[in-house]
Amino acid sequence: MEQRHQPIGVFDSGLGGISVLAEAMSLLPAEDFIYYGDNGNAPYGDKHPDQVLELSRAVVDDLLKRNCKAVLIACNTATSAAAASLRAELTVPVIGMEPALKPAALMPGQGAVLVLATRMTLRLPKFSGLMELYGQDAQPIPCPGLVELVEQGELEGEQVEEMLRGFLAPYLDRPVKAIVLGCTHYVFLRKAIRQVVGDGVALVDGNLGTAMQLLRKLREGGLEKLDTGIQGKVAFLTSAPDRKAALDQMAAMLALARTSAVA
């Protein structure tokens, strides 16, 4: 098979990266994708960086055995812990993510920028570098437990909103101009976050920027599949013990993201 016709591998610790997959599919409709959710090892955000690196290597090895022409790490935590090493080890393009602090900080208006992310994302050097450049008005907020709610399919309701209020309430007594969704799982919580903060605060994620970077890397390498008007295919893989349930949940989450229900 000609390399440009090979699929693109996308992976995350679980379901969150499906929000990135949906953006990539919209931007690159002719491409085929293989999405790997490492649900059996989720969440990554509370693990040691070395463990996340080894888990990421194992997932990428599986994707490369399936002839993926590029790898998109649809996970801020895995990007922070593994992207540099994977790029040094592999010949295929490796595209990662970072919390969208820069675009949030550069938005017009006054007020704080709240950065919701996993503990690991917030404590690794990649985020520290972002804070040095764009963090003058930023407040990092670790959010343990949110990933698990999304993995359980809990996207709205009293339990979700109560947890979000616990994280956000201490910072809502002053002006807030933006909230950065620094974990791909949190994109599925937009409605619940809106219930807590209202409509006057921008919710910013890095999904579209990441998909655009994927497109740039494919074009640079002559790997972009030509658009023939035929919609590309998507295959799902999972490490979850209950494989069928996980795959059904992935398909449902993709349908949710593709209908803009998480926007």
pLDDT of res. 65: 98
What pLDDT, on a 0 to 100 scale, did the predictor assign at position 262?
A: 56
How far the first Cα of the chain sits from its last, in Å, is: 36
Marked catalytic residue, from 53, 75, 115, 130? 75
Is residue 183 flagged as an active site residue? yes
pTM of structure? 0.95
Q: What is the mean pLDDT of residues 217-224?
A: 97
Architecture of 101-204 per CATH? 3-Layer(aba) Sandwich (3.40)
* Delimiting residues of CATH 3.40.50.1860 domain(s) in the chain: 3-97+207-258, 101-204
The residue that leads in pLDDT, 262 or 65, is 65
- From 183, 189, 250, 262, the catalytic residue: 183
Q: Is the pLDDT of residue 48 over 80?
A: yes
SS3 96: coil
Cα–Cα distance between 123 and 85 in angstroms, integer? Answer: 18
At residue 263, the pLDDT reads: 46
Contacts of residue 211, defined as CB under 8 A and 6 or more positions apart, other chains included, come to 20, 23, 24, 26, 27, 28
68 catalytic, yes or no?
no
CATH architecture for the domain at 3-97+207-258: 3-Layer(aba) Sandwich (3.40)
